[in-house]
Each structure stands twice: as C-alpha cells, then as structure tokens.
Amino acid sequence: MQAHKIPVFKMWVSEWGARFVIFSILMTCLYSFALYTSPATIMGFYGVESTDIQYAMVVIYGSTVAFLALDFRIVKYFAPRKYLLTALAVNAGCSLMCFYTRSWPVFMIVQFIQGITCALMSGIVLNMIFPRLESARARIIGYTILYGGIQTSVPLYSIYYSIVLYFFDFNWLFYGLNVLLIVLAGMVLVTMNGKARFHKKLPLYQVDWAGYLFYITFILISGYILVYGRQLGWFDSPLLIFLILFNMLILLIFIKRSLRLKRPLINLYIFKAKKFAIGLLLLVVFYIFKGSTGLAYGYLEVILGNDMLSTIPIWTAVIAGTVIGMFVISRFVLMGYNLIRMIIAGFGIMALFYIYMLLYVSVQGETIYFIPALFIYGLATGVLFVPIVTFTTSAAPPQIAVNASLVGTFARFTGFTASMAINNELHLYTKAGVREKIRETLIETNPQFSVSLQNVYQTYLNAGNDSYAAMNSSAGYIDNLVKEQIVARATRDYYDLMLLGVLCVIVILLLLPQIQNVVLKLKKGQVPY
C-alpha cells in the first residue's frame, strides 16, 4: 500500500478516539498563547514593561502566521507522526529552558520557536480534520469546533493559569506545559501510524524560503512599530521612521517576488477577489473590537481589586457565551441564512457589550455585575467568527483557496496587533482628557474640594492618628480616589468610542448591497487556516 493511502490513525482507534487526539493536539498547541493572562505577573517575573509583554505576544503570533504559509509545503514531505513528535520535542525543550532561566531574551527566542511549533501542530490538525469531512454540513460543524476551540482556549487556560499563579511562580506554567506535551506524545505514539502521510511525498524543491524570511521580517517589524510607536513618539523617532521605510522596502520586494515566482509563499492574485478583500477587512475589524476587553479586565483588577481567582467566573462567562454563540450561529449557517445579516447581528451584540459596560463602569461595583457583560462579549465573538470566516472563504476563487486561508490568518494577526496599538493610543487619549478635567476641578479654591479634604482628614484624626499621619493619609486617600476616577472615566470614554466604531461598521454593512448575496461555497479541498 502506498504510504499516503495508509490511514493516519491505527485501525483499532475509533472515530471518537481520533477526534479526541486531534482536539488535544489543537488545545496543546494553543497553550503558549494564553501565557499572557496576567501581564503584571510576567512583568514582575522578568522585570519588563507592558509594551515588552505586548511585543512578546506579537512575536509568538507573528511566528505562527509566517510559518503556516511555509508549513503548507513542508507537511507534504514529512510523515505526520514524526513531524508532530519533532514539534512536541522542540516545544518541550523550549519550555525547559524557560523553566530553569529567568532571562527575557531567552523567553523572546522561545516565543518565536514556539510560534513555529504551534503552526506546525495546527497545520497537522487542519490536515487531519477537513479531508475527513465529506459534506458542507460536516465542514461547517468542523469550522465551529475548530474555531470554538481556538476562541475558548485562552479563557480556558486562563482559569488554569489563575489557579497556578495564585500558588506558584510564573515559570511553573512551563512545567505544566511539559506535562501536557509528554501526555500528548504518548497518545500520538500509541494511536497514529508511523508511515502514514497526508499526501504523496513531495520533495522540498522550489520552496520559497527567501519569501518566508521577507514575510516574517515584515511581520515582526510591523508589530514592533505598532507596539512601540507611542512609546518612541511615532514620527518624532528617527528609529521608527527608518523601520517604516525599511519595512515598506521589504513589502515591495516580497510583492514583486511573489508575482514573478511560479510557486510563491502566498499567491497574491487572491486580492483580485473584491468580496474576499471585504472579508479580510471584516476580520481585521472584528479583532480590533475583540481586543477591547483588555480594558475591562484592567478595570476589574485596578478598580474592583479582583485577584486571579476572583476572575474565574468572568472567564467562565466568556467560555459559555462563545460556545453558545458558535453553535447557535452554525445552525443558522447550515440553514442558509444570509451571512452578512448574521455578521451584522454579531456586531449588534458587540454593541450591547459596550452599552452594558457604559452603564456599569464606575468606581463602585461588584464583579458579579460584569459576568453578564463578558457573557455578551463571548456571545458576540461566537456569533461573528464562523460567519466572517465562511464569508471570506466563500468569496475566494476555489483554485487558490488555500492562499485565502493564509492571508486570512495574516488579517487576524493584523487586527490583533492593530487593536493593541489603538487601545494604547485611545486609552492614553481618554486618560489625558479626563486627567485635565479633574485637574481643573480639584484646586484649592474649589470649596467642595476643600470640604471633602477636610472631612477625610477629620476621619483619620477620629481614628486615632496624629495630625501629621492624618494629613499624609488623607492626601494619599484623595490621590488614590482621583486615580480610580480617572481610570473609570477613561474606560467609559474609551467604550464610547468603541460603541461609535461598531455602529459605523453596522451602517457600512447595511449600505453595501454588493456583499449581501455571497453564496456559501465550501469545497472539500478548502482548509481554513
């Protein structure tokens, strides 16, 4: 029997057993993405700033996106089991390095390598899932399960991380990853055939290695510009101007090579499909709005004083909302409902999340008030993801559909990175505005401010403090109160702008009649990276 016709799983492995192994591979490869559940913990452990944490996220995500384009060719050369075991071994080695060291440069290098192993493992998952799905119905269910796993992996691991970090140091998360990798390696060795292949073995000739180097360089520099732009002063920084010009040169070279080569890393002719380009823009916009929850978690931590364990109900609400949203919307997709109308409904639910936050964000509140808000957010992401991906895939020409998947992954990365830059910029803008208004109000000539300060001072005196201690304590109390007011008001102003943005997207979608009638066309050969 030819190797590429041997079943990937051994004969005694049931269909449900195979599905369990595939899903375990998917969830394990996403482990590293959820390391950033508590940025403050990483900052304290490594002694770095918040922008460094954001760039580390860009590095692992960008590394995954770039290698997925290369993996499309490489996976046709190696046997899946050996290829997968190699990824698990490399991942385990990287985790051990991080466990026994406390070096930020080592952590960044490991994040890049683990991004490659994540791409490798997820590429194998996709090649095991979608060729098994014969009907369009099965492929929609496959989309739902795949993207449901991706969307819920971060909050699911966040619950686990919250428990671990409550009792142990940050580096013990790498120990936990190694345990998962060992268990998964045992499952792969027992259940998968060593000689099986997804395709007939294709030699690694005409692989666009140079294109990959240009692609990953462009991605990492773009991420650096967006993350560190505000800190460096944008166009006031000679370094940033140089990086922008250099990145534009790399992009031009990449485009020119791709249009000339017979087998480029990514076939750029995919952009000729207008509706596909609209789908990409929807992906970018979706990830920008999706990234706005970071402020909500910051509010819960700074204003409400939540510790890691107190946030577990919030993560649970996100998971529940995502799962319900995805499985409900998949039924509507299967029944042939209009994709754009479902996308509009999803953005409408996202608008409800912003409205809820505007109603309840204040300096006083309880965590329980925000569980419905994060459930609504999870519902919105669940409702939006499958229709946007199916819309984008359906709009792509079938003969180059795999390139649509690769470009779609880059669009998701772009939206993710842009959301961090926009969040940083808007939050600083709203904070500055609120701080200026408060500064104008809290002056000594304001009689109400003087009365409040005197009342706080008297309270500390009555509590048994001497005059000096009462004065310092009252000043500290007022200062802390002002900081809380700034964060709460800035958060509300930020969500005001987000609400305005999502309403604009809804209006634009309603006013674009040419995209209303995209027909769902999911071919068997299409693999949605």
Per-residue confidence band for 368, with pLDDT thresholds at 50, 70 and 90: confident
Summarize the confidence of residues 383-405 as an average pLDDT. 77
Which residues have CB under 8 Å from 92's CB, separation 6+?
A: 177, 178, 181, 182
Q: Would you give the DSSP letter of residue 78? A: S
Q: Which amino acid is at 212?
A: Y
Q: Which is more confidently placed, 356 or 446?
A: 356
Is domain 271-528 classified as CATH 2.40.40.20?
Answer: no
DSSP state string for 127-192: HHHGGG--SHHHHHHHHHHHHHHHHHHHHHHHHHHHHHHHHS-TTHHHHHHHHHHHHHHHHHHHHB
What predicted TM-score, i.e. pTM, was given to this entire model? 0.86
Look at residue 9 and give its three-state secondary structure.
Answer: strand
- At the top level of CATH, which class does the domain 1-208 belong to? mainly alpha
Residues of the chain above pLDDT 70, percent: 80
How does pLDDT run across 82-94, given as a tens digit for each residue?
A: 888 998 999 999 8
Dihedral (C-alpha) 32, 34, 39, 43: value to the nearest 10 degrees? Answer: -20
Per-residue confidence band for 1, with pLDDT thresholds at 50, 70 and 90: very low
Distances (CA, A) of 274 to 114, 128, 288, 411: 35, 31, 21, 15
Closest by alpha carbon to 391, among 322, 430, 326, 337? 337
Helix (H) or strand (E) holding 20: helix 15-29
DSSP state string for 87-140: HHHHHHHHHHHHHH---HHHHHHHHHHHHHHHHHHHHHHHHHHGGG--SHHHHH
Closest by alpha carbon to 529, among 146, 263, 32? 146
Token digits of residue 417: 């990175």
Which residues have CB under 8 Å from 405's CB, separation 6+?
A: 393, 526, 527, 528, 529
CA angle 133–84–99, rounded 5-degree value: 130
**pLDDT averaged over every residue in the chain:** 80
Tell me the C-alpha distance between 507 and 321, whole Å: 25
The pair phi, psi for residue 432, each rounded to 5°, is -65, -40
Tell me the C-alpha distance between 368 and 360, whole Å: 11
Tell me the C-alpha distance between 47 and 2, whole Å: 54
User: Domain residue spans in the chain?
Assistant: 1-208, 271-528
Q: Which amino acid is at 3?
A: A
Token digits of residue 194: 């060593």
Gyration radius of the chain's alpha carbons: 25
pLDDT surpassing 80 at residue 108: yes
Same fold, 1-208 and 271-528: yes
How does pLDDT run across 470-524, given as a tens digit for each residue?
A: 666 666 666 666 666 777 777 777 888 889 989 998 898 888 766 655 555 555 4
Token digits of residue 89: 């071994």
53 strand-pairing partners = none
Closest by alpha carbon to 26, among 146, 117, 131? 146
Distances (CA, A) of 456 to 189, 284, 304, 465, 480: 67, 49, 21, 12, 13
